[in-house]
Copies of this chain bind each other. A is one copy, B any other.
Amino acid sequence: MEDIRVRYFDTFSRDDLKDPVLLEGLPGIGHVGKLVAEHLIHELGARKIADIHSIYLPPQVMIEENVIRLANNEVYLYDGPPRQLLFLVGDFQSSSNEGHYLLADCYLSIAEELGVSRIYTLGGFGVGHLVDEPRVLGAVNREDLKAEAEAAGAVFENGEPGGGIIGAAGLLLGLAAERGIDGICLMGETSGYLVDPKSAASLLSVLSVLIGIKTDTTTLEERGAELEKMVQKMIESEKGIQEEELRYIG
């Protein structure tokens, strides 16, 4: 098998695309980015156009209505108006350091192939305590982009986050710069302990300005509660496996 395999659906044709923008919302801190991206996919009725399987994702399958499917990442397309949006979402980020780079590089090849000239990566910024009014921190991969993000409500604090950004949200922007693709990272402040729909709502309000699309956010809270439940199940199942491994696997 290929290390990474991208599969476009037959219902999709590259000719459908006209200057789309890519939004990344893979799982991460507080699942803020995932919440926002999946909310938009749902509210806008975006359709799945591709999936990505890889040996760099955890060796795991998900179960949907009793049917198994490989853990994957997926690309969705919203056809506008006012503009086309591509979404990169999925079950997991890479399970290895090298895989993080190789997957991010693959995502950008997809982006380039689909004519993307701007990427938004969406994530959480863990602060370790509950936040009443979560701010949305911004980071860009080209100085010129800062003013636009700031005007939309993103906060730029010099050198924040001080520890840099780990994982897809950061790597995508770093690697996009070299391909001449603009990138803006939006990070909602969050405790880091729970799925955080409040932080997602803040992020969404900034993002809405940037992409010129407003959606009803009333369902965000509900979606957050569901996701939290799923996350809990995963943690329990993962914990079970780890205890097992301690016992059985040499």
By a beta-carbon cutoff of 8 Å, the part of chain A in contact with chain B is 1, 27-31, 55-56, 58-71, 91-98, 100-102, 104-105, 126, 128, 138-143, 146, 156, 158-167, 170-171, 173-175, 177, 183, 185, 192-193, 229-231, 233-238, 240-241, 243-244, 247-250
Contact = CB atoms under 8 A, between A and B. Distances in A.
Given A29-B240, A60-B170, A141 B68 contact: yes
Contacts of A67: 139-143, 146
Contact of A231 (B1, B92, B247): B247
Of A1, A28, A141, the most chain B CB neighbours within 10 A belong to: A1
A52 B230 CA distance: 36
Contact of A55 (B69, B101, B146, B238): B101
A191 to B, nearest CB: 10
Contacts of A250: 58, 60, 71, 91-92, 163-164, 166, 234, 237-238
A64 B105 contact: no
A55 B102 contact: yes
Q: How many copies does the complex hold?
A: 4
Contacts of A156: 66
A61 B172 CA distance: 9
A105 B159 contact: no
Contact of A138 (B66, B104, B177, B234): B66
Contacts of A92: 249-250
A183 B68 contact: yes
A61 B238 CA distance: 28
Nearest to A246: B235
A93 B93 CA distance: 23
Contacts of A126: 237, 240-241, 243-244
A98 B160 CA distance: 32
A238 to B, nearest CB: 5
A173 B248 contact: no
B192 A234 contact: no
Contacts of A60: 164-167, 170-171, 250
Contacts of A128: 236, 240
A77 to B, nearest CB: 23
A243 B162 contact: no
Given A71-B164, A173-B61, A243 B101 contact: no
Contacts of A71: 164, 174, 250
